[in-house]
Chains A and B, each alone.
Chain A
Amino acid sequence: MSDLDLDPIIHAQSRLRVVATLAALPVGDRITFPRLQSLLDMTAGNLSTHLRKLEDADYVLVTKAHEGRRPTTSIELTPRGRLAFETYAATLTALLGGGSS
Chain B
Amino acid sequence: MTHDDAPHSSQLDVGDDAPLDPAESLRIIAAQTDKVRATQVDGRVLFGVWGVAWLVGYLALYLTAEGHLPGGSSGPGGLLLPATWAYIVFAALIWTAVAVTIVYSIRVGSGVRGVSARTGAMYGWSWFIAFAGMGTIIGGLVNLGASDEIVSLMSNSLACLVVGIMYLAGGTFWQDTRQYILGIWIILVAVVALYAGLPGAFLVMAVLGGGGFLLGALGDHLVRTTRTTRTARSRG
Interface residues of A (CB under 8 A from B): 3, 6, 8-9, 11-17, 20-21, 23-36, 39-40, 44-46, 48-49, 52-53, 56, 73-74, 76, 88-89, 92-93, 95-96, 99
- Do A95 and B36 touch across chains, with their CB atoms under 8 A apart? no
Report whether B115 and A92 are in contact in the complex, using a CB–CB cutoff of 8 Å: no
Residues of A within 8 A of B111 (CB): 31-32, 34-36
Q: Which of A13, A30, A52 contacts B112 (CB 8 A)?
A: A30
Pair B32/A24 contact, Cβ less than 8 Å: yes
Chain B's nearest CB lies how many Å from the CB of A59? Answer: 12
Q: How many residues of B contact A (CB 8 A)?
A: 36
Which of B1, B17, B32, B116 lies in contact with A48, CB distance below 8 A?
Answer: B1
**A29 near B114: Cβ-Cβ < 8 Å:** yes
Determine whether B223 belongs to the interface, using a CB cutoff of 8 Å to chain A: no
Which of B1, B3, B12, B115 lies in contact with A27, CB distance below 8 A?
B115
> Could you tell me which B residues sit within 8 Å of A by CB distance?
1-4, 6, 8, 11-18, 20-23, 25-26, 28-29, 32-33, 35-37, 39, 110-117
Does the CB pair A29–B116 fall under 8 Å? yes
Q: Which residues of B contact A33 (CB under 8 A)?
A: 1
Q: Roughly how many angstroms separate A36 CA and B14 CA in the complex, as a whole number?
A: 22
A96 engages B22 (CB within 8 Å): yes
Q: Does the CB pair B11–A20 fall under 8 Å?
A: no
Q: Give the residues in chain A near B14, CB-CB below 8 Å.
A: 8, 11-12
Q: What is the chain A residue whose CB lies nearest that of B117? A: A29
Contact residues in A for B13 (Cβ distance below 8 Å): 8, 12
17 extra interface residue pairs, beta carbon distance < 8 Å, beyond A12-B15, A30-B113 = A8-B12, A8-B14, A9-B12, A11-B25, A12-B14, A16-B20, A20-B28, A26-B116, A29-B112, A31-B113, A39-B35, A39-B39, A40-B32, A48-B3, A52-B3, A76-B114, A88-B25
**Shortest distance in angstroms between B205's beta carbon and chain A's nearest beta carbon?**
34
Nearest B residue to A26 via CB reads B116
Contact A24 B2 (CB under 8 A): no
B36 touches A39 (CB 8 A): yes
Minimal Cβ-Cβ distance residue in A for B26: A92
Whether B29 lies near A89 (C-beta < 8 A) is: yes
* Top-7 shortest CB links A-B: A35-B111, A28-B115, A24-B36, A20-B32, A13-B17, A29-B114, A30-B113
- What are 12 residue pairs bridging A and B, where the CB atoms are less than 8 Å apart in the complex? A3-B21, A9-B12, A11-B20, A13-B28, A14-B17, A16-B25, A27-B115, A28-B115, A45-B6, A52-B3, A56-B11, A96-B22
Selected from B12, B21, B26, B110, the residue in CB contact (under 8 A) with A35 is B110
Q: In the complex, what residues of A have CB within 8 A of residue B2's CB?
A: 44-45, 48
User: Within the assembled complex, what's the spacing in Å between the Cα atoms of A52 and B2?
Assistant: 12
Most B CB atoms within 10 A — which of A6, A36, A49, A74? A49
Q: Which residues does chain B contribute within 8 Å of A35, judged by CB atoms?
A: 110-112
B18: which A residues are within 8 A, CB to CB?
13
A30 is contacted by which of B16, B25, B39, B114 (Cβ under 8 Å)?
B114
Shortest C-beta distance, B14 to chain A (Å), equals 5
